[in-house]
């Protein structure tokens, strides 16, 4: 500072300005030479991202340095299994003829088919279990053949403890419930339970003769050890509910291993509270492949849990999510959110790259839930989530630091334009793509835009101030304010009618009429009915030209 003061006193203002300019240019050149080069353009990168970007996007931009060469990157997951949840919105089998080749191109090595009530169960005890639109045996064989032609392993998933609503909701099986009024979990002590479950598994295995693995579920068993039979059994054996759980899944796993000759897999969450000695003593570690699931952008898995699993289990699978994990009623899939989940998994597994534990990680399952349980409404239709699935699969192939490359290739594979991740807004609209079911994707995009407009109109000051339930009930409102909002509501009504027509045209390429009808009635019709109610209310209110004195 003293030097600057001295210069100011000795030099003219003009000379001092020249000096400052030269210093600024030199500093700028130094910074420019040190800034990183863009992997895409070879030019220096300047961060012009908006401060309003989501947290996931910020982490993505910060970490996406693309420093590794994709040619030298060795994928951490050799097996990449895509979960197809049939309990939500089962695709027509013909749709798989278009879907499977694209999955294979994107790097998938197999499919995990969660049948629930879409499997064609037979026999006296199971003949009422399949849904009325369940697949036929020939359809299941067709799906298996299509998967084989595209080199995709098929792993069927059948729940065997919790999430058995499709079975326990029926009158002929309600006596097997752990809690009489809760059809969620089966009683592991009832003498009919294991024989019935073994029938389910045998029938599924028979229609999947080339499958080497079967997933037995066993996640989120909300009710265990509640019934009298289970409590008596625990008292006699001095067992806890943990002992009861592990005894049941061990019996199922031994049946799958010994009688079916298949390798059982199961979800991990019920084991998270177990101690390592408990797991070691049970011998479960060699009986099943453990599938550890977490769907958050930041994995919520305790390090102690990982240490326990790695010490106990011979084979471990990761389970991420490409859809169906951000809300039971969610329809619009956030690509950014699910990409961050996959990046988190890649970071975690990379920590074990140079350790003996790496060989225990057998692959990853990309889950795509279609309902949160049997009774929930559908969420995130498969075609609407395909951009997320495509980017996630490619990211697993190229590595955590190649998000831009995965994004660009996904856009190309799906025949869209722009970016699925790095657009300024997640509301970016893709009017035309070229992947199986993209017409359904287009309908869901339109639904998202209409839903936003609906929320905006219902939050309008006129609706909240002059069109409330009170106004409608008392037929007391200002005609001055009703005209403009009536126009907006009429526009919305036309949009809902258009959505109905669009869904009836687009959905049949992927789904049967039942799924089309359910989607519209559960997600669109409630909004359309509300708008119709308000429009009718406006007509009544505007017919009034005299009003009573208060109080009304």
What amino acid positions are annotated as catalytic residues? 220
Cis upstream peptide for 551 (omega within 30°): yes
At residue 177, what are phi and psi to the nearest 5 degrees?
-70, 140
Residue 363: partners with Cβ closer than 8 Å, 6 or more residues away: 77, 78, 79, 80, 81, 109, 317, 318
CA triple 227-230-235, angle to 5 deg: 120
At residue 231, what are phi and psi to the nearest 5 degrees?
-65, -40
Q: What's the sign of the alpha-carbon dihedral 242, 247, 250, 255?
A: negative
Smallest Cα–Cα separation from 250: which of 270, 276, 231? Answer: 270
Helix 335-350 crosses helix 55-63 at what angle (to 10 degrees)? Answer: 50
For every residue of 324-339, DSSP letters joined together read S-S-TT--S--HHHHH
Start-to-end CA span in the chain (Å):
77
Q: Rounded CA gap, 424 and 205, in Å?
A: 48
Q: Rounded CA gap, 417 and 422, in Å?
A: 12
Smallest Cα–Cα separation from 388: which of 363, 365, 421? Answer: 421
Q: What's the sign of the alpha-carbon dihedral 129, 134, 140, 143?
A: negative
At residue 331, what are phi and psi to the nearest 5 degrees?
-120, -30
Structure tokens at 518: 């359910």
- Number of neighbours of residue 351 by Cβ within 10 angstroms: 11
**Cβ atoms of 367 and 83 closer than 8 Å:** yes
Residue 401: partners with Cβ closer than 8 Å, 6 or more residues away: 63, 64, 65, 66, 67, 68
């Amino acid at each position: 500072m003293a030097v600057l003061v001295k210069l100011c006193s000795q030099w003219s203002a003009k000379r001092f300005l020249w000096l400052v300019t030269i210093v600024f240019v030199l500093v700028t050149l130094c910074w420019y030479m040190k800034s990183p080069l863009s992997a895409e353009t070879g030019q220096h990168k300047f961060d012009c991202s908006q401060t309003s970007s989501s947290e996931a996007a910020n982490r993505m931009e910060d970490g996406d340095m693309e420093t590794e060469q994709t040619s030298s990157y060795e994928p951490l997951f050799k097996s990449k299994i895509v979960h197809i949840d049939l309990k939500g919105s089962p695709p027509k089998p013909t749709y798989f003829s278009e879907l499977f080749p694209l999955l294979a191109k994107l790097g998938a090595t197999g499919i995990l088919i969660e049948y629930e009530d879409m499997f064609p169960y037979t026999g006296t005890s199971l003949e009422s279990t399949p849904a009325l639109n369940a697949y036929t045996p020939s359809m299941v064989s067709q799906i298996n053949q299509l998967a084989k032609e595209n080199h995709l392993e098929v792993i069927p998933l059948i729940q065997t403890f919790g999430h058995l609503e499709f079975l326990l909701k029926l009158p002929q099986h309600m006596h097997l419930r752990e809690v009489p009024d809760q059809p969620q979990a089966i009683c592991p002590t009832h003498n009919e339970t294991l024989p019935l479950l073994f029938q389910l598994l045998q029938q599924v295995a028979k229609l999947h003769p080339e499958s080497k693995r079967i997933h037995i579920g066993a996640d989120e068993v909300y009710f265990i050890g509640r019934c009298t039979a289970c409590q008596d059994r625990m008292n006699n054996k001095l067992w806890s509910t943990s002992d009861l759980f592990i005894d049941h899944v061990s019996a199922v796993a031994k049946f799958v291993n010994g009688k079916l000759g298949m390798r059982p897999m199961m979800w991990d969450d019920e084991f998270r509270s177990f101690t390592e000695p408990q797991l070691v003593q049970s011998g479960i570690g060699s009986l099943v492949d453990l599938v550890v699931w977490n769907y958050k952008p930041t994995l919520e898995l305790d390090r102690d849990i990982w240490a326990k699993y790695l010490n106990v289990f011979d084979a471990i699978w990761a389970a991420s999510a490409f859809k169906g994990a951000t809300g039971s009623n969610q329809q619009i899939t956030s690509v950014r959110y699910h990409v961050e989940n996959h990046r988190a998994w890649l970071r975690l597994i990379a920590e074990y790259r140079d350790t003996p534990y790496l060989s225990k990680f057998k692959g990853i399952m990309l889950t795509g839930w279609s309902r949160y349980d049997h009774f929930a409404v559908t969420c995130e239709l498969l075609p609407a989530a395909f951009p997320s699935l495509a980017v996630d699969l490619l990211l697993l192939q190229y590595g955590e630091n190649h998000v831009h490359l995965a994004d660009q290739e996904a856009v190309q594979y799906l025949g869209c334009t722009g970016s699925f991740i790095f657009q300024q807004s997640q509301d970016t609209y893709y009017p035309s793509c070229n992947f199986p079911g993209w017409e359904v994707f287009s309908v869901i995009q339109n639904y998202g835009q209409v839903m936003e407009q609906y929320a905006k109109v219902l939050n309008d000051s006129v609706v909240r101030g002059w069109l409330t339930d009170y106004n409608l009930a008392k037929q007391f409102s200002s005609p001055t304010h009703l005209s403009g909002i009536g126009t907006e509501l009429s526009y919305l009504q036309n949009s809902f009618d258009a959505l109905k027509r669009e869904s009836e045209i687009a959905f049949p390429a992927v789904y049967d009429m039942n799924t089309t009808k359910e989607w519209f009635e559960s997600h669109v019709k409630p909004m359309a009915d509300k708008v119709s109610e308000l429009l009718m209310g406006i007509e009544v209110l505007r017919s009034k030209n005299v009003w009573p004195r208060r109080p009304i």
